[in-house]
Chains A and B, each alone.
Chain A
């Protein structure tokens, strides 16, 4: 089946540093979503992107829908300890039609050293 390549798999950074992660696909997507998951909880939606080239911010988070429609990027500026968690990208492939089925990346584990 379709897969999303998400990188890096993990990041260990100092508080205050900026973070970048990305997802790439072998096929074209209609929608890109970025989620954060804390231990013992479900994924929580951070940012949703609906068209190629779209750049959207949510506080210190910024995400972009790649112009090729096959990739997306998430940046976190000035990281803080509560940014710790697993970040997932998810995409809705064009051939998914109206079902809204998503394909998920395998996640980026972020650890922030105070």
Chain B
């Protein structure tokens, strides 16, 4: 969706380093989400936010933290990246009962 962007789109990092992915929306939506997508698992929810400074865990939240200091930005942080966190990360926002996705961030942890 044109109203949601992610950065960086691609990143290679070393094990043990911190990594932050940024999601930015221009639609003023309350709900935002971070998913990871892996072969055989589909899309799995990491964390979500229901407002500024209001966040909660999803089904695969271990090793990840998030922050939402402004409505338009939702940050996903890997405090100490591990190889199991190599994945494609998608940010999403909810408009009513419908969820729209960003274009994805490809993260490789070596």
Binding site for B on A (CB under 8 A): 1, 30-31, 33, 35, 40-45, 48, 50, 88, 90, 92, 98-102, 104-107
A75 to chain B, nearest CB (A): 20
CB atoms of B42 and A88 under 8 A apart: yes
Q: If the complex has contacts A31-B97, A45-B100, A90-B99, are A101 and B48 also in contact, measured as CB distance less than 8 A?
A: yes
- Are the C-beta atoms of B42 and A105 separated by less than 8 Å? yes
Give the distance to chain A from B38, nearest Cβ to Cβ, in Å: 10
- Is the pair B103, A41 in contact by a Cβ cutoff of 8 Å? yes
Residue of B nearest to A43 (CB): B101
B-side contacts of A41, CB under 8 Å: 103-104
Which A residue sits closest to B97, measured CB to CB? Answer: A31
Q: Give which listed residue, B48, B101, B103, contacts A99 with CB less than 8 A.
A: B48
Taking a contact as CB atoms under 8 Å apart, the answer to whether B43 and A100 are in contact is: no
How far, in Å, is A96 (CB) from chain B's closest CB?
A: 10
B59 contacts A1, C-beta separation under 8 Å: yes
Contact residues in A for B104 (Cβ distance below 8 Å): 40-42
Question: How many B residues have CB within 8 A of the partner chain?
Answer: 24
Contacts A44-B1, A101-B45, A104-B43 supplied; 18 other A-B pairs, CB < 8 Å: A30-B97, A31-B97, A40-B104, A45-B1, A45-B98, A45-B100, A48-B97, A50-B97, A90-B99, A99-B31, A99-B48, A99-B56, A100-B31, A101-B33, A102-B99, A106-B40, A106-B42, A107-B42
> B59, A100: Cβ atoms under 8 Å?
no
Task: Select one of A43, A100, A104 contacting B97, CB under 8 A.
Answer: A100
| Chain A residues within an 8 Å CB radius of B8 | none
Contact in complex: A43, B50 (CB < 8 Å): no
- Whether B94 is near chain A, meaning CB under 8 Å from some CB there, is yes
Of chain B, the residue at the smallest CB distance from A92 is B97
- Do residues B101 and A42 form an inter-chain contact, with CB atoms below 8 A? yes
- Which residues, 56 to 110 on B, are CB-close (under 8 Å) to A? 56, 58-59, 90, 94, 97-104
8 residue pairs A–B, Cβ–Cβ below 8 Å? A31-B97, A33-B99, A42-B101, A45-B98, A50-B97, A100-B97, A101-B48, A106-B40
Complex: A91 Cα to B96 Cα, angstroms:
14
